[in-house]
Amino acid sequence: MNITLKLFSIAKDLAGFDERQVQFNEGDRAEAVLRHLAGLNPRFEQWHSSVRLAVNLEYVSNNHPLQDGDEVAVIPPVSGG
């Protein structure tokens, strides 16, 4: 199935892209996105527990099932003041 990944901030820097179409397997869950990113750059491992995922503009758990055509935003931790 074809998923659109959108990356922001440090996630974009680590992956080297801000948006890309990626193929996933039927039955994959949102956590597959994190595994995919860690395969591109092992430094993603350190962000695994603090990254939020949003599927089609809604925050989801890592266990959320992916569907063909989904848009998955990878949102790293933010700070500011």
pLDDT of res. 44:
87
Q: Which domain holds residue 64?
A: 2-75
What's the N-to-C CA distance of the chain in angstroms? Answer: 40
For residue 43, give the CATH number of its domain: 3.10.20.30
Residue 39 is predicted with a pLDDT of 94
Return phi, psi of residue 51, to 5°: -80, 140
Structural domain contains residue 80:
no
Q: Is residue 7 part of a domain?
A: yes
Q: What pTM was computed for the model?
A: 0.90
Looking at residue 47, what is its pLDDT?
Answer: 77
Q: Which two tokens stand for residue 1?
A: 């199935």
> Helical H runs in 1-81?
9-15, 31-40
Q: What is residue 79's predicted lDDT score, i.e. its pLDDT?
A: 62
Domain count, the chain: 1
Establish if 58 belongs to a structural domain: yes
Token pair recorded at residue 7: 């990356």
Ranges in the chain, pLDDT < 70: 79-81
